[in-house]
Amino acid sequence: MGNTPLANSFLTPDQLELNAEIKYPLDLVFCPGCSLVQITETVSPAVLFRNYLYLSSSSDRVLRNARAMAEKLIEKRGLTDKSLVVEIASNDGYLLKNYVEWGIPVLGVEPAINVARMATDQGIRTVAEFFNLSVAQELRDKYGEADVVHANNVIAHVADLHSIIDGIAEMLKPDGVAIIENHYVRDLIEHCEFDAVYHEHLCYYSATSFEWLFEQHGLTLVDVERIPIHGGSIRVYFQKKNGPKSMFIPGAARVVAALDDERKWVNDRAYYNTFGFKIGSLRAELITLLKQIKADGKSIVGYGASAKSTTLLNYFRIGSETLDYMVDNISIKQGRYTPGTHLMIYDPSKLLETQPDYVLILAWNFADDIIAKEAEYVRRGGKFIVPIPELKWDR
Q: How far is CA 205 from CA 27, 175, 317, 384, in A?
A: 16, 25, 28, 31
Q: Left if phi > 0, otherwise alpha if psi is -120 to 50, otherwise beta: which for 44? A: beta
| Residue 242 in this model has a pLDDT that exceeds 90 | no
Mean pLDDT, to the nearest integer, of 236-265?
A: 82
Distance (Å, whole) CA 187 – CA 380: 35
Residue 177: pLDDT band by 50, 70, 90 thresholds? very high
Structural domains of the chain in order of their starting residue, each with its CATH number:
33-266 (3.40.50.150), 274-393 (3.40.50.720)
* Other beta carbons less than 10 A from residue 120's beta carbon: 17
Mean pLDDT, to the nearest integer, of 220-239?
A: 91
**Structure letter (DSSP) for residue 12:** P
Digit-coded pLDDT (tens) for 191-201: 999 999 999 89
Q: Are strands 219-227 and 146-152 parallel, antiparallel or unpaired?
A: unpaired
Distance (Å, whole) CA 5 – CA 312: 12
pTM for the full model?
Answer: 0.85
Distance (Å, whole) CA 328 – CA 347: 6
Residue 153: pLDDT band by 50, 70, 90 thresholds? confident
Q: How far is CA 347 from CA 64, 99, 197, 344, in A?
A: 23, 31, 26, 10
Distance (Å, whole) CA 229 – CA 129: 26
Digit-coded pLDDT (tens) for 87-133: 999 999 999 999 999 999 999 999 888 889 999 999 999 999 999 99
Asked if the peptide bond before residue 228 counts as cis, ω within 30 degrees of 0, the response is no
Alpha helical stretches, state H, the chain: 13-18, 45-49, 60-77, 96-101, 113-121, 133-143, 161-171, 185-190, 207-215, 252-262, 269-295, 307-316, 350-354, 367-373, 375-379
User: Which residues, in sequence order, are bridge partners of residue 37?
Assistant: 30, 204
